[in-house]
Amino acid sequence: MQRLYASWRHAYVTRETHAGDCIFCRAQATSDADALIVHQGVTAFVILNLFPYNAGHVMVVPRRHLASMAALTHDELVEMAELTQAAEQVLTEVYRPQGINVGMNLGRPAGAGVADHIHTHLVPRWTGDTNFMTVVGEVRVLPEEIPQSAGRLRPAFARLLARG
């Protein structure tokens, strides 16, 4: 039997989590480079997924620690929608995907990895980008490293959102 190793996943599956320890809240308390935040809004921000499904996988996250969309204020809801729209434009410009998955998983049974702080995923997609590696080997083959993604996305967000 041949084995395929994804040693980078070890950090994710063995990470310590504590009650009240939220990756999104912690990301806001560190520098942009460390947290991989690619855009800071007023009530929400855009951050790269540390364990992406594809290159350019970002999440739009409200600053407040909330578990449901129903708890968002009108301003938070509007900014999340606007940042999701901006992220679609930025990903299209930077990565030229053939499609983008956009979605939320509300609650752990729905697939939420961070169930108590809502966030919207945007995953660039290309025809043929899924392969046997993910299905058989539980390995993702990504064409670029996360810091390179951050370096490509930050200026595009700054340019797009400076225009209004």
E-assigned strand segments in 58-119: 58-62, 99-103
Question: Which of these is catalytic: 10, 39, 117, 119?
Answer: 119
For the four alpha carbons of 108, 53, 91 and 23, in that order, the dihedral sign comes to: positive
CA distances from 78 to 86, 89, 121, 124, 154 (A): 12, 17, 16, 23, 21
Q: Does the active-site annotation cover 65?
A: no
Rg (Cα) of the chain, in Å, rounded?
Answer: 16
Active site residues: 119
